[in-house]
Structure 1
Amino acid sequence: MRYVKWSLLGLIGLFLLTFLHYTLPQHDIVRIVGTENRRMEIGENSWFFAAPDVGTASSTSRDIFFINSVYPDGKTMEFRNEDTGWGWPPYFKMNSFSLATEAKELVSTKDKPIWVSVTHYGWRNQLFTIFPNAVGLKQVDGPDVTIIPWVNIVILGFALVLAVLVRRMWRQFRERMIEPAVIDVQQSIDDLEERGGRAGERARGFFGRLFGRK
């Protein structure tokens, strides 16, 4: 049972880490090389796409803004630019058109680069055709600038404090409620076994006397 317990806890921990890695904001320093508006059919990978832009009709086929970029080492990255609206993740992004305009203003060439910090969530996977969703753009001084993830620090810190409080509450609840109840149940079982033993002894004595008289 110990292996089952730790395996289950490991799976829960892995799920939480995966969920947080996908949902929490990340910052990539890139050079924007172009933008486009692409018509896409959203199918089995719809889990990794946001809802249609606020105010538009829901459909499996829709136009999606994309931001094409290049990392300082030359690797490419494509970000989608979709509204999150009031849904999940709770970025409350409703400015995909404005962000597309900002991206066009920040397009630069290799000779005269403009480095941009792209705040996004999600993953890039070519096999399943999924893209991280850009939620903010900010021009930075260079490719080596350090971005401190204050939002992640606050959220993870709050989650850690909450986890510690929940653990303490659970331990107190277990000590005050569960353990005494378990002890009472065990005591009741012991009492029943003791009574049953005494009853059995009396029964054996009765039948012994009964058969002894014959």
Structure 2
Amino acid sequence: MMRYFKWGFFAVLALLVFAFFHYTLPQHDIVRIVGTENRRIDYGQHSIFWATPDKAAQAVGSRDVFFIQTQRPNGKPMVYRNEDTGWGWPPYFKLDSSNLQAVAQDLVSTKANPVWVSITHYGWRNEWISIYPNAVSINVVSGPDATIIPWANIVILTFLLIVLLFLRAMWRQFRRRSIDPVIEDMEEAWDGVEDRAEGLWGRVKRRLGGK
């Protein structure tokens, strides 16, 4: 039972870590921008998936949010929000949502004369709870088949892997030098207690047998 509990715990932990990085790390979509708009959004139950509004917006309970409407090469629509992240989390330090909206408006194109762009974003799109990925940057690409190498993700994940390996090596060294000797001393002490207990029990049996 404990074995299944252990593997279940690590499976849930791995799923949470994957979801965290999948939401936070930048992703790249090749799309065609078909429109932009500005909507009034209530600061409601799904606020965790939106950028933190300023105090004025929190007091009013709603705020204006830019949106970028796009079409993927397969014809499916995709909508992005365009919000500043400021100095909060995730650490994109995005402060130019108005400029990015102007770029998006300038790149609106038709199906007959498409302009394909790569939108870098983070977050998820879910129609049930009305959440949208947040666009971070827009770059024109050669076509719908353009390949984008996620250098930022490669660098971040490689750095995290190095840190984890370093921490693992430190833990193993600490365990070998500090924890294992204590455990060995405890085992030796317990063996000594067992030996003394067995000797005492043997003497008691001999005395009782002698009577």
Question: What is the TM-score with the length of structure 1 in the denominator?
Answer: 0.91
Question: Which residue is 2:28 aligned to?
Answer: 27
Larger Rg: 1
Q: Residue 181 of structure 1 aligns with which residue?
A: 182
Q: What are the residue-to-residue correspondences of 1:9-20 with 2, within 5 Å? A: 9-20=10-21
Does the CA contact (< 8 Å) of 1:52 and 1:83 recur in 2? no
Name the residue aligned to 1:129: 130
Identity fraction in percent: 54
TM-aligned CA distance change 1:113 to 1:56, over 3 Å: farther
Partner of residue 167, structure 2? 166
Unaligned runs of 5+ in 1: none
CA distance in 1, matches of 2:88, 2:39: 23
C-alpha separation in 1, matches of 2:162 and 2:6: 24
Distance 1:45 1:58 in 2: 14
Between 196-205 and 165-174, report the one with greater CA deviation.
Answer: 196-205
Q: Aligned partners of 2:200, 2:124: CA distance in 1, in Å? A: 70
Aligned to 2:6: 5
User: What code does the residue aligned with 1:175 have?
Assistant: R
- Structure 1 residue matching 2:173: 3-state secondary structure: helix
Aligned to 1:99: 100
CA distance in 2, matches of 1:57, 1:45: 15
Residues 144-182 of structure 1 show CA distances to partners (whole Å, capped at 9, x for unaligned) of: 111110000000111111122122222222222222211
- Residue 200 of structure 1 deviates from its aligned partner by 3.1
SS in 2 for 1:44: coil
Asked if 2 retains the 8 angstrom alpha-carbon contact of 1:33 and 1:70, the reply is: yes
Output the CA distance in 2 between the equivalents of 1:52 and 1:134: 17
Aligned 8 A contact 2:70 2:78 in 1: yes
Matching residue of 1:115: 116
CA offsets 1:75-127 (integer angstroms, 9 cap, x no match): 00000001111111000111111111111111111111111110000010000
* Superposed displacement of residue 4, structure 1: 2.1
Is this contact kept in 1: 2:123–2:132, CA < 8 A?
A: yes
Give secondary structure in 2 for the equivalent of 1:142.
coil
1:74 aligns with 75
Partner of 2:149: 148
State the match for 2:45 in structure 1. 44
Letter in 1 for 2:6: K
Report the Cα offset of residue 199 of structure 1: 2.7
Q: Give the SS at the match of 1:37.
A: strand
Distance 1:7 1:135 in 2: 36
Paired residues of 1:81 and 1:135 also in contact (CA < 8 A): yes
Shift of 1:198: 2.3
Amino acid at match of 2:135: A
Residues 23-58 of structure 1: per-residue CA shift (max 9 Å, x gap)? 0000001111111010111322111101126x8643
Give, in angstroms, the shift of residue 2 of structure 1.
Answer: 2.5
Contact 2:40 2:64 in 1 (8 A): yes
Please report the TM-score for the alignment, with normalisation by the length of structure 2.
0.92
Structure 2 CA distance for aligned equivalents of residues 101 and 111 of structure 1: 22
Contiguous gaps of at least 5 residues in structure 2? none
| RMSD (CA atoms) | 1.7
Q: Which residue of 1 aligns with 2:194?
A: 193
Whole-angstrom CA distance in 2 between matches of 1:106 and 1:52: 27
- Report the alpha carbon displacement of residue 3 of structure 1 after superposing the two structures with TM: 2.3
Aligned residues: 209
